[in-house]
Amino acid sequence: MATTGKRVTFVCYVCGSNNVTRDAWARWDVKAQEWVLGDLYDNADCQDCDGETKLVEVELAPVRA
Ligand SMILES: [Zn+2]
């Protein structure tokens, strides 16, 4: 039986929503013709709280085949 490994999500530590974003920068990759994610910053925002938050990593149930 194949395992897909641990799956996680990140949620707002205030309200528990996963409608959250992180600050980051992206660099244009000419060869790939797409934006490549660079550094992630620690700043996180919750779209539901409409402000800065901290993220909590939550483990998800494995996907059933
Ligand atoms: Zn929130």
User: What does each of the 65 residues of the chain score in pLDDT, given as a tens digit?
Assistant: 556 688 999 999 999 999 999 999 999 999 999 999 999 999 999 999 999 999 999 999 888 76
Domain presence at residue 11: yes
Q: What is the pTM of this model?
A: 0.72
Cα of 8 to ligand 1 centre, how many Å? 18
Cα of 61 to ligand 1 centre, how many Å? 22
Domain presence at residue 2: no
Instruction: Give the chain's domain count.
Output: 1
Domain that holds residue 17: 7-60
- Mapped onto helix, strand or coil, the DSSP state of residue 42 is strand
Tell me, what DSSP letter sits at residue 57? E
Strand order in the sheet with 51-53: 20-29, 34-46, 51-53
Cα of 54 to ligand 1 centre, how many Å? 9
Domain presence at residue 26: yes
Cα of 52 to ligand 1 centre, how many Å? 8
Domain presence at residue 13: yes
Domain presence at residue 55: yes
The answer to whether the Cα torsion of 18, 55, 10, 35 is positive or negative is positive
- Answer yes or no: are the C-beta atoms of 9 and 55 closer than 8 Å: no
